[in-house]
């Protein structure tokens, strides 16, 4: 019989704690929904109340509601980078670029406000995509026709 000195299952930590995200875009929304904390500026408080109607908190995680889609888990910037890289070049990745990668990420159930800008940035940095990208065959200057006298 084996006696374990410590538990074999590690206590689950919050995703934000793992990625070192303590203050990101989702903090004010989550604070309002959980603790009813509003900013001191009345205009910002009104904006936050309006924005928070599209989100909900389940089991400590922030989710975005959609009209015709399932709940999407809201992630911070560091976790978003990891998610994009795994979707692009993971086991089922196809090095997609632009809007197709953004929509693939949304279908996987993740959301963050700068998704489309982040997709362009990640695709532009991918070395494999740069090697197989379409070559531009247009000359750098306009071609001038020369007539012979």
Residue scoring higher pLDDT (94 or 17):
94
Where do the domains of the chain lie?
22-74, 76-129
Residue 6 Cα distances to 11, 16, 22, 97, 100, angstroms: 12, 25, 29, 45, 46
Instruction: Give the whole-angstrom CA distance, residue 56 versus residue 62.
Output: 6
Q: Identify each DSSP E strand in the chain by its residue range.
A: 55-58, 61-64, 72-74, 110-111
pTM for this model (two decimals): 0.67
Residue 126: the pLDDT is 76
Residue 24: the pLDDT is 82
Q: How confident is the model at residue 142 (pLDDT cuts 50, 70, 90)?
A: confident
Residue 15: the pLDDT is 46
Residue 74: the pLDDT is 93
Q: How confident is the model at residue 16 (pLDDT cuts 50, 70, 90)?
A: very low
42-55 mean pLDDT = 93
Q: How confident is the model at residue 90 (pLDDT cuts 50, 70, 90)?
A: low
């Amino acid at each position: 019989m084996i006696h374990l000195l410590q538990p074999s299952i590690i206590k689950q930590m919050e995703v934000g704690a793992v990625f070192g995200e303590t203050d990101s875009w989702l903090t004010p929304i989550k604070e309002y929904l959980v603790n009813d904390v509003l900013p001191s500026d009345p205009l910002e408080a009104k904006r936050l109340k309006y924005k928070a109607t599209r989100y909900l908190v389940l089991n400590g995680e922030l989710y975005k509601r959609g009209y015709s889609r399932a709940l999407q888990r809201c992630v911070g910037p560091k976790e978003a980078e990891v998610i994009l890289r795994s979707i692009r070049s993971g086991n089922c990745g196809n090095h997609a670029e632009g809007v197709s990668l953004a929509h693939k990420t949304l279908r996987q159930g993740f959301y963050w406000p700068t998704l489309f800008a982040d997709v362009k940035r990640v695709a532009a940095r991918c070395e494999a995509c740069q090697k197989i990208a379409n070559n531009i065959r247009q000359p750098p200057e306009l071609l001038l026709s020369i007539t012979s006298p």
